[in-house]
Each structure stands twice: as C-alpha cells, then as structure tokens.
Structure 1
Amino acid sequence: MASYYRSFMDSFWSEYVWLPPNITWADIAPESSMEVQHADYRHLFYPLPMALFMLLLRYFLEKYWFAPIGVSLGIKNTRPKKAPHNPVLEKAYVKSKKWKHKDIQGLAKQTDMSERQVERWLRLRKGQNKPTILVKFCENAWRCLYYTFSFIYGITILWEKPWLWDINKCCIQSRGQETMFEKLKRVKSFVVRPKPSDEELDLSESSHLRRSVAINNAVIAKQKQLVAAQKGAGFNRQTSTSHESIYEDRDKAVLEQLRRINFGDSKAGARQEALQLYCQDGGDRTGFPHQSVTSDIWWYYMISMSFYWSLCVSQFFDVKRKDFWQMFVHHIAAILLMCFSWVVNVFRVGSLVLVVHDSADIFLEAAKMAKYAGYQKFCDAVFVILIVLWIVTRLGIYPFWIIKHTSIDAPKIVPMFPAYYIFNSLLILLLVLHCFWTYLLLRIAYNSVKAGQMDGDIRSSSDDYSEESKSQ
C-alpha cells in the first residue's frame, strides 16, 4: 500500500508537470540557496490553524463590536414570528419547501384550514429561520474590515516591489531582491565617494572595465547555455529568442557605457549610467522560479489563505445567498490559486491578483452595511463607486494587465510548463465569475435607476432579504 501511495505522489508531483524545464524540486527547495529564499510548501498548513483563529476573532468582533455598533445605528435584532405547530404542514414543508397551488388546496382539506391560512403558515415557516438584519450587518462588517486591512497591507508592501510597476518583473529576477530605493542608495553611495587622483582614476577605470566586461561575458555565456538547454528540451524557438533579446539589449547598453568610460567621455556621469544599467538586472539571470519570498509577502499569503479557508467553513452557517455555489467555487479557486502559486513560486502574480480583488470588495460590503442600517443615500453613493471600481479592477486591470501578462507576455520570457496552464486556467475561471457578478451588479443598477434607489441586496443577495425588500 505504501509503495502505491509513493508511486502516486511521485506521479502527482512530477517535475515535468509542476516546474519549468531543467528545474528540479531540489533547485527550489527552501535550503537550496543561501541567496534566494524559496517558498516552502510545508507552510501551506499554517493557514489551517490560522483560519480557526480567524473564526474566533470574527465571533468576538461580531458579538462585542459590530453588534453594538449596529444597534446604535438603529438596526433591530427582532426575530420573525414562528409558525404555529402543525404536524401535517410541517411534514409537507420538510418534504418540499415550494408548494404549488394544488398542494396548498390538498393541505387545506387535510388540516381543515383555508388556503389563505395555509399560505400564511408557509410564509411564517419560511421566515422563522431567517437571520436578523443585525446578523447580516455583522457579517458584512467583518468582511469589510478584513478587505480594508488586506488592501491597505497589500498595497503598502507591494509599493516598493518592482513587479507592481513592471509586471514583467514577475518573471525576471532583480538583483538580490533589491528595491528601487536600495538600488538608488547603492548608486548614490558609489557616486559620492571622494574624487581620486588622475592616476588612481585611470587605474580604477581600467580595472573596473576589465571586471565588468568579464562579468558581462560570463553572464552572456550563462544565458547562451540556458537558451541551448531550453532548445534541447523542446522549448519554443520564438520564446527563446524573445527571452534572449531582453538581456541582449541591456548587455549592449552596458558595454557601450563602459567603452565611453574608456574613451574618457564624462567619466563620473558615464560610470553612474553604466552602474545604473547594470543594477537594473544586476547581472543575475536566474529569474523565475528563483525568487525570494520576503516576510511581508509571506504574511500576506498566509493571512489571505486563512481568510478564504475560514469563508469555506463559515459559508455553510452564514446567511444563505443566491450565489452560494458560485461563491464556494470562488473560494476554492482562490485557495487553489494561492497554493499553486506558492508551490511553484508564482507568488508575485498571486500578490497582484489579491490586491486587485480586495479593492472593490471593500465598497461592496460597505454598501450592504449602509443598506441594512437604513442609510439609503449613502448606500447609493457607495454603490456608484462600487460599480465604477468593480468594472475598472475586475473587468479592466485584471484581464488586460494580469491575465494578459500570464497568457501573452510571460510565455515570451520564461518557458511554460503544465502547472502554469492550470494556474492560468484558474485565473480565467475567476474572470468568468467576475462577468457573472458584473451582470448581477448592472441588473441591480438598472432596477435602482427605475425605482429611484438601490433595491435589494448586492451581488450575492439572499433570497430572504430580497423578499423583504419587495414587501416593504
């Protein structure tokens, strides 16, 4: 039995499936390099106990913070009136919650009740298990708080990451994981050194030129070996050419600047330009998947995964909504995306996906809270912001920036592998869900314009609340 299990695991975690060509699991193991801190797959178990903590934190916040706030806003916590006990009707209700007119007529004869009394009993029976408006308010307040924290934290830690400003950096490695500020600081420290004598300057420039040319030649040789290995593994010729050309232009620029130094053109300025060009890539051609996971990205991933794990559990106890299964698929897809991106070191793209999604969810939950609290004008204003931000992020930035990179640009930079297509398919699945929810939002917006105010719940509206809104 153990041998079958081992054989299955070896087949499932095949390097051919999960890793780029010529990369092994040993190459991206956490202890495989002193310079690069690869993601550790064993850390994927951490979000499970963290999800339990998240559920406990939610319970205490809803009970001791959100509920008092809701009561102070005038939200009532009264429960609906219960239906009178009737064994015949209860048995029929357990069998089917939707009664046709013929069923109501038959039950009225069995119970010696009028059809109107049976309909009223059914309405009360459906309503007695409804959550109160205060419960719904607390649920939305919890999610609004989390999305606000997650977005602020995410945009803060990504602000200095190079791949936020140049998404191609998700595939191309930066030297030593330096931020732009660190690079400029290093360049500045080089430039402000005391000016040497002419003899020292000529000697240092000659030595610097020889050292830089040697490094550059070694890098070019390493790149040619990589391209040859990729071609030998059946790597697409067009992709290899594009990958090689990215660095070829930089090599020419560096050598040109070094030649200018040798010919005596504006020595200090040319040396600074050459250093800046060389620092842009650092001569480090490792790139994907050899990218370090910093502590801030680690926490961003762990907290996000723990939140979605907690949603997978709490969704079965929260208010039942119309898009229950769509939301469940969304949570599972989000967890799989984060797990896959963590295992194969595609966490840079994953971090961008997270921060893009969190921005609109803040206003989504805020609009629901305003609706439940009775602040209709504020709800309408937030809803307009939500519509604009939702379309910009979910149907604009997400497909035309992130998915465009993963589907079109990335294959020109790094060799593709089967797991990458799985990862990209999950990204497209999220886009399909976005289109579905956008349709719901636009339908609500259309109905709101006709009614003069936002009617019903938003996106994942519950059947119960929609019925309440119509009856008011």
Structure 2
Amino acid sequence: MGVSEGFWHHEFWLPPGATWEDLKESADIHYPQPQDLLLCIPGALLLIFVRCLFERTVALPLGRGLGVRDKRRPKVQTNATLEGFYVLLGRTPKEEDLISLAKQSDLPIKEVQTWFRHRRAQDQPRLSKKFCEASWRFTFYFTSFFSGLALLYNKPWFWDHTTCWLKFPQQPLPPALGWFYLLELSFYCSLVATLPFDVKRKDFKEQIIHHITTITLISVSYCANMIRFGMIVMLVHDASDYILELAKMLHYLKWQRVCEVVFMAFAVVFIISRLVVFPLIVYYYFVTKLPLFPVSCLINAFLVVLQLLHIFWSYLIIQMIFTVILRGEKRQDARSDTEESDRSEAEDPAKNQE
C-alpha cells in the first residue's frame, strides 16, 4: 500500500463499517471531495485583495469621517550605528549597551535613549491601521455569522443536535454549505498569510495556535464529511467575534461609554458561547453520539486545544472587566492590538511628557 493510499484509508477517515464507496457522487448527490480544499488558496488570495480594497475605499474614509486621526510622530535622525543595533539586537538597549552606543555615536546617553524612544514610536501601528483591520474583521465576522444563521435556520439538525449524525457519513452536502465552509477556510488562511503585516497583538502566539487549529479542524472535518457539526462549531465561534471587533472600532473612535457597553455584551456572549454552549452542547454531542475512529480522536484533541484557548481568553476578558471597566483603572486591554514595545513606552515618564 502506497503512502497516499495509506493516508486516505477509509478506516482512518470514516467510522467503522463505512468506506469511500459510500460517498460516491452522482448527478443529484454531492459529497465533500478532498481536492475541493485546494480552492482555499485562490480563495485566500481573493480575500486578501478584497480586504485591501475594502480598507482603502471603505474603512479608511469611514474612520477619517468619524474622527480617527493618527498622532504626529517625532522624526528620527539617521544614525547607522543606532539603527544597526535596533534592527539586529533589540529595540530597548540595556544600560551597558547605551553607554557603548553613546561612545560609538559620540552622543550623550540621554540623546541615545531619546533616539530609541522615537524609533520605537515610528514602528508602532497607527490608529487608522488598527481601525481598518478591525473594520474588515467586523465586516467578515458579521456577514459570516448571520449568513451561517440563515443557512442553518431551516435545518432540523441545527435545532435537534441528536440528528446531527443521522446516517453519517452518508449526508449529502448542499452547495451553499460547501461554499460557506470553503469561504471560512479561505478566510483563516488569509489571516495566517497576513499575520506578519497586521498589528501584532499581545496574544500573538495564541492567535497562531488558534488559526492553525481552526484550519486543521475545518480541513479534516470537510474531508470526513462532518459538515453539519463543523457548521455548528463555526457558528458558535462567530457569534461573539464581530462584537469584539465592533468594540475595538468604538475604542479607536474614543467613544468610550458605548465601547464599554459593547464590550460587556461581547464578554457575556463570548463566555456563554465558548464556556457553556461549546463544551456542554456542541462538544458533548460530538463525543457521545459519534463512534471513535482515528479522525474523530484527532478532531477531539483539537477541540480540547480550542477550549483551553477559550478559557485563557475568558480569564483575560474577566480580568479586564474588573480592572478597567468596573474599577475605572487606566490599563490596556489584555487582548489589545498593541506592539510589545508599547508597554515600555507607556511606562516611560519621559515619553509620556513628550
């Protein structure tokens, strides 16, 4: 048996007793085909193009019209020695490095410190960029959630989860659900592709884990024809995402009161959907109603990874509610999209005075 045949062996992908012959297509019946996943490559490229177009023609003018303004940043004098250290060795030199750089540049230590502060400020993401990114994600998540809801509203298995696995895996794939599934996969592939260019958030590593886990779950569940279950999982996740992006947009607009109300709504929806609905309904029915086979065990493991991320983010959300909103402390969102260097900037009294 070749490597390809071994990888696609029905005992790995399908429940006991089922074979690929059960999923053969006909003129009237369509099942998911693994080669369909290749469409996510042009799909991701298309979404990246649409995103760039949307940010330039819609989000940026909208932000400016609503009052989003980028702060003027101090100019940095060209200095090859300091720039080389900044790029290769770090943005925040230690005291001994400052002394060495001051001697090499023939500058006072205070001027070297100021240069690095200004240089870090140049690399911080602009407010308009943050607003545009949040606007794009809000638009996609909002459209995705309510489109998915419209697609599933009249499906009996959406309301009665006990029928989700009825006649599995011989569950024909409606074209609309198939395209929706591939669109979601394309979107998360586009997010991974643009991560190096997007505003770097403090939970950057967790975001990478989340995106890779999501892409794996969507791809594997598509090949194994777990479309019904996958649609429910995606809908549960999309329920809160667009509210978070709306709260960010309001934050960048400095509409603080409205932002806090929206963020509280996000926190309630996130905790209910991720810590109650997901584990008690979605995950429970997946574990108890489906026989164990290799792919189901794999999906089960990745769902656990998602749940651990849900717990981690719920902790940050609750922490923010108590420290910022309820106590009124001036503290950055633990999930905010700020560069790591922002923390040192915020803690520097000299920078604050400037």
> What is the TM-score of this pair, normalised by structure 1?
0.70
Match of residue 46, structure 1, among 39, 54, 58:
39
Shift of 1:450: 6.1
Residues 29/359 of structure 1: CA separation in 2 closer, same or farther (3 Å cut): same
Q: Name the CA distance, whole Å, in 1 between partners of 2:142 and 2:170.
A: 31
2:305 matches 1:311? no
Q: One-letter code of the match for 1:345?
A: N
Match of residue 148, structure 1, among 134, 138, 142:
142
Q: Which residue does the alignment assign to 2:129?
A: 135
Q: Name the CA distance, whole Å, in 1 between partners of 2:326 and 2:101.
A: 39
2:95 matches 1:101? yes
2:354 matches 1:361? no
Residues 145/89 of structure 1: CA separation in 2 closer, same or farther (3 Å cut): same
Shift of 1:37: 2.7
CA-based RMSD of the aligned residues comes to 2.0
Q: Which residue does the alignment assign to 1:282?
A: none
Q: One-letter code of the match for 2:246?
A: A
Residues 158/314 of structure 1: CA separation in 2 closer, same or farther (3 Å cut): same
Q: One-letter code of the match for 1:410?
A: K
What is the DSSP-based 3-state SS (H/G/I as helix, E as strand, rest coil) of the residue aligned with 2:197? coil
Q: One-letter code of the match for 1:433?
A: L
Match of residue 288, structure 1, among 156, 160, 168:
168
Q: Name the CA distance, whole Å, in 2 between partners of 1:36 and 1:126.
A: 58
Residues 35/74 of structure 1: CA separation in 2 closer, same or farther (3 Å cut): closer
Q: Which residue does the alignment assign to 1:30?
A: 25
Shift of 1:113: 2.3
Shift of 1:102: 2.1
What is the DSSP-based 3-state SS (H/G/I as helix, E as strand, rest coil) of the residue aligned with 2:292? coil
Q: Which residue does the alignment assign to 2:302?
A: 426
> What is the TM-score of this pair, normalised by structure 2?
0.92
The 8 Å contact of residues 76 and 133 in structure 1, kept in 2 or not, is answered as: yes
Shift of 1:299: 2.1
Q: Name the CA distance, whole Å, in 2 between partners of 1:348 and 1:312.
A: 25
2:105 matches 1:111? yes
Q: Which residue does the alignment assign to 2:55?
A: 62
Where do 5+ consecutive residues of structure 1 fail to align? 1-5, 173-286
Q: Name the CA distance, whole Å, in 1 between partners of 2:24 and 2:344.
A: 55
2:250 matches 1:370? yes
Q: Name the CA distance, whole Å, in 1 between partners of 2:175 and 2:344.
A: 47
Q: Name the CA distance, whole Å, in 1 between partners of 2:342 and 2:99.
A: 28
Where do 5+ consecutive residues of structure 2 fail to align? none
The 8 Å contact of residues 125 and 338 in structure 2, kept in 1 or not, is answered as: no
What is the DSSP-based 3-state SS (H/G/I as helix, E as strand, rest coil) of the residue aligned with 1:316? helix
Shift of 1:29: 2.6
The 8 Å contact of residues 117 and 345 in structure 2, kept in 1 or not, is answered as: no
Residues 330/443 of structure 1: CA separation in 2 closer, same or farther (3 Å cut): same
The 8 Å contact of residues 456 and 469 in structure 1, kept in 2 or not, is answered as: no
* Higher mean displacement: 131-140 or 323-332: 323-332
* Higher mean displacement: 100-109 or 48-57: 100-109
Match of residue 341, structure 1, among 205, 221, 228:
221
Q: Which residue does the alignment assign to 1:416?
A: 292
The total of aligned residue pairs comes to 347
Residues 35/23 of structure 1: CA separation in 2 closer, same or farther (3 Å cut): farther
Q: Name the CA distance, whole Å, in 2 between partners of 1:458 and 1:137.
A: 18
Q: Name the CA distance, whole Å, in 2 between partners of 1:46 and 1:29.
A: 20
Shift of 1:466: 5.6
Q: One-letter code of the match for 1:10?
A: E
What is the DSSP-based 3-state SS (H/G/I as helix, E as strand, rest coil) of the residue aligned with 2:77? coil
Residues 373/466 of structure 1: CA separation in 2 closer, same or farther (3 Å cut): farther
Q: Which residue does the alignment assign to 1:382?
A: 262
Match of residue 14, structure 1, among 9, 13, 20:
9
Q: One-letter code of the match for 2:338?
A: S
Structure 1 segment 155-234 matched on structure 2, within 5 A: 155-172=149-166
Q: Which residue does the alignment assign to 1:436?
A: 312
Residues 440/466 of structure 1: CA separation in 2 closer, same or farther (3 Å cut): farther
Shift of 1:457: 3.8
Q: How big is each residue's C-alpha offset from its partner over 1:18-60, in whole Å with a ceiling of 9 and x where there is no partner? A: 11112211221333xx664321222111121111111111111
Q: One-letter code of the match for 1:93?
A: Y
2:160 matches 1:297? no
The 8 Å contact of residues 143 and 365 in structure 1, kept in 2 or not, is answered as: yes
Q: One-letter code of the match for 1:424?
A: N
Shift of 1:468: 6.6
Q: Name the CA distance, whole Å, in 1 between partners of 2:184 and 2:171.
A: 20
Q: Name the CA distance, whole Å, in 2 between partners of 1:95 and 1:48.
A: 34
The 8 Å contact of residues 456 and 466 in structure 1, kept in 2 or not, is answered as: no
Shift of 1:64: 0.7
Residues 342/326 of structure 1: CA separation in 2 closer, same or farther (3 Å cut): same
What is the DSSP-based 3-state SS (H/G/I as helix, E as strand, rest coil) of the residue aligned with 1:17? helix
Q: Name the CA distance, whole Å, in 1 between partners of 2:103 and 2:201.
A: 34
Shift of 1:81: 2.7
Q: Name the CA distance, whole Å, in 2 between partners of 1:427 and 1:340.
A: 12
Q: How big is each residue's C-alpha offset from its partner over 1:214-261, in whole Å with a ceiling of 9 and x where there is no partner? A: xxxxxxxxxxxxxxxxxxxxxxxxxxxxxxxxxxxxxxxxxxxxxxxx
